[in-house]
Structure 1
Amino acid sequence: MSIEEEAISEMEDPTGRVATHAPVSGASPRKPRYRALHIILVGIVALLVLGTASLTYTLWPDGSQIVDQPDSSTGGGEIIAARVIEVSHVSCAQPGTQSPNQVTGNDATAQPHSDTCVEVRAELPIGEPVTFSLNNLRAENTTVREGDQVNLIAHEIDLNGETETIYSFYNYPRGGKLLTVAIIFVVIVIAVGRWRGALALIGVGASIALLTTFILPAILAGKPALLVAVAGAIGIMVIVLYLAHGFSHRTTAALFGSIFGILFTAGAGFAVTRWLRFSGIGSTEDASLLIAVPGVDMNDVLTATIVIAGLGILNDITVAQASAVWEMRALNPHLSKQRIYVSAMRVGRDHIASSIYTLVFAYAGSMLVVLLLLYTYPRDLIDLVTSEQIGQEIIRTLIGAAGLVLSMPITTGLAVLFARETSTPSHAVSVLDGPEEQLS
């Protein structure tokens, strides 16, 4: 074997992939300037992680600061399981009595008329039979069949000195079916994405854990909602990016671009929501939260929702831009930084356009029921758009989109700066990240 063939065989990736490299005679040792950049980036990331961890620790809520509120959806009743054994359609005028239009047996699953209610007999796990009813509105949107498993709410009431339990429909038990869908999703992601898909799922799990153990409890405990959201968002980005994409200068460029987007969104959201004099209360859920946690700043909560809602698409933009720069550098190592930046920005502009559509329609979809309801009432368009309920969604979309757009050139510039220049001849290309680009 010749010296050149031996050198190329030594460059084979341990995973079995083979990168095309220049002959050994064309290679050059890592430049001191790139070594210095490597050390600087490691230090910055270390300080960033340490600072985020310290801020998270400072804002971490004490369990005693969170006041548990009763579940208003059950009205103070107890949720119990039951199995449906008989369904009847009765007149809403006299529920529970026989009527000419009553239907029983196998025909009980027929679609009820608008003036027809549903009376259901069910059996509790202990074998005790119970009865509950569905009014005409609920009956038109809820199909109850014999053999169905249902969850009921049991209320105890006092009637003439005697305690009687009445039952009402709550929902269907969906835990097993939701778990099945989740398992199918995991299998699809791992089958297609393989180890990167598995790491992405782990990152999602870690992000949800941080959201439920830190961000939500901290806001409920009265901590500054905007500061909590920023700390949590940066923590989520660090976990997701490095876990899914590895420790490299490319990932670091995406991380710095994402942090810029987070900070811009937080600052712009804080300023704009106060400039527009939003109260932060645009729905019944907002009002309920303020009642449950009187000290919370609803404007900060509004801005926090803007920060958290844009994390997924922000991650998409920054990672794509960093990867585009690295691929361009790998395909033609002798391109100037300016040429790579201009080319990557062309890719980014196309990506930005589709990402804005994604963001706008995601918000529109989440508000679709509200928009349909508001559309049924004749109202001046300007008055409708400037109302707080719709205005909040518009600001969420505009501020989130602005953060995405501005993070794209920032990430591209950082990626061009961090990508290693090489003296490899133009006919030789390396498509794999070299060890010199690793942060670990």
Structure 2
Amino acid sequence: MGAHGHPEGPTLPMNRIAWAVLVPLAVATLVGLVLLWPSATPPTAQPPAPEFKGVVLALQGEECTGEQTGPPSSCGTVTARITTPEGDREIEAPLSRSPSAPDLSVGDEVVVAASESPDGPIYGVVDHQRGSELVVVLVALALALVAFGRWRGFTALVGLAITFGVLFAFIVPAVIAGSSPVLVALVGASLITLTVLYLTHGVSLPTTVAVLGTMTALASRRACPS
């Protein structure tokens, strides 16, 4: 009778204790989220240079002349056709020879940045277009994760999306708006812990204990930042 009467007896009180501690932490996280949520993102001091998609039409190399204190930076020109809101146009940009510059060939799809100057816009080729390649890689990784992990893999993807959402929608804007970085990080990490762990591992006593342990560690780091 003792061996078969109530096998889950010890688990039920522990479950209640865990939830009794977890619910106030969840409420505190939501309160912190509301209080620290940025009302508006302050404008940056200098807007980034506009970038346009383009195609390399021609390359004209020249011998680098003059004294060079470092690696040559601009020897020749590159002609490209870029797409702007006003339509397509042909532009010329310096052909960079620095080690970090992209290796260009005629027909390459590139990204061109424009900056204003008293003599008119100045263009520069900053990189190759990599958007489509990155999308293909991300889709392949997502399909592989779902294929091997099934439902657990899908929930892991959703948890990853939630993590990036909290990071870019709350943590980064709140820090830029002037809120305490430590408090923002604590609230954001608590929110990610509460949602992602339950989403990927389900509602259970082991998951609740893992959440409590993670949030306790976060709180201890807040109390003792050193």
Amino acid at match of 1:255: V
Q: Distance in 1 between matches of 2:116 and 2:147?
A: 51
Residue matched to 1:150: 110
Residue matched to 2:138: 182
Amino acid at match of 1:58: L
Q: RMSD between aligned alpha carbons?
A: 2.7
- 116 and 69 in structure 1: CA distance in 2 versus 1, 3 angstrom threshold: closer
Amino acid at match of 1:247: V
What is the deviation of 1:73?
5.3
Residue matched to 2:52: 80
Residue matched to 2:148: 192
Q: Distance in 1 between matches of 2:51 and 2:46?
A: 11
Task: Considering fraction of residues, name the structure with more helix.
Answer: 1
- Counterpart among 79, 94, 97 of residue 136 in structure 1: 97
SS of the equivalent of 2:187 reads helix
Q: Distance in 2 between matches of 1:259 and 1:219?
A: 21
Q: Distance in 1 between matches of 2:93 and 2:8?
A: 78
What is the deviation of 1:136?
2.7
Residue matched to 2:44: 69
Residue matched to 1:122: 80
1:226-285 alpha-carbon deviations (Å, 9 max, x no partner) = 11111111111111111000111111111122122222333332xx3xxxxxxxxxxxxx
Q: Distance in 1 between matches of 2:176 and 2:116?
A: 31
What is the deviation of 1:43?
2.4
SS of the equivalent of 1:56 reads helix
Q: Is the 8 A contact 1:80 1:151 kept in 2?
A: yes
1:211 matched to 2:171: no
Task: Considering fraction of residues, name the structure with more strand.
Answer: 2
SS of the equivalent of 2:59 reads strand
Larger displacement relative to structure 2 (40-49 or 235-244)? 40-49
Q: Distance in 2 between matches of 1:182 and 1:127?
A: 30
Amino acid at match of 1:69: T
Amino acid at match of 1:137: S
Amino acid at match of 2:102: T
Larger radius of gyration: 1
Q: Is the 8 A contact 2:56 2:80 kept in 1?
A: yes
Count of aligned residue pairs for this structure pair? 219
Q: Distance in 1 between matches of 2:104 and 2:22?
A: 56
Q: Distance in 1 between matches of 2:103 and 2:182?
A: 43
Q: TM-score with structure 1 length normalisation?
A: 0.46
Amino acid at match of 2:43: D
Q: TM-score with structure 2 length normalisation?
A: 0.84
Amino acid at match of 1:28: G
Structure 2 gaps, min length 5: none
1:54 matched to 2:31: yes
Larger displacement relative to structure 2 (198-207 or 25-34)? 25-34
- 85 and 35 in structure 1: CA distance in 2 versus 1, 3 angstrom threshold: same
Q: Distance in 2 between matches of 1:235 and 1:83?
A: 44
Residue matched to 1:237: 193
1:251 matched to 2:226: no
Q: Distance in 2 between matches of 1:213 and 1:196?
A: 25
Q: Distance in 1 between matches of 2:78 and 2:203?
A: 59
Q: How does 1:160-171 map to 2 (within 5 A)?
A: 164-171=120-127
Q: How does 1:20-419 map to 2 (within 5 A)?
A: 27-30=4-7, 32-63=9-40, 66-71=41-46, 74=49, 78-93=50-65, 117-125=75-83, 126-137=87-98, 141-159=101-119, 164-269=120-225, 272=226
SS of the equivalent of 2:194 reads helix
1:32-56 alpha-carbon deviations (Å, 9 max, x no partner) = 4433222222222222212211121
Structure 1 gaps, min length 5: 1-23, 95-112, 273-440
1:318-377 alpha-carbon deviations (Å, 9 max, x no partner) = xxxxxxxxxxxxxxxxxxxxxxxxxxxxxxxxxxxxxxxxxxxxxxxxxxxxxxxxxxxx
SS of the equivalent of 1:81 reads strand
Amino acid at match of 2:153: G
1:190-224 alpha-carbon deviations (Å, 9 max, x no partner) = 11111101101101111111111111111112112
What is the deviation of 1:131?
1.2
SS of the equivalent of 1:29 reads coil
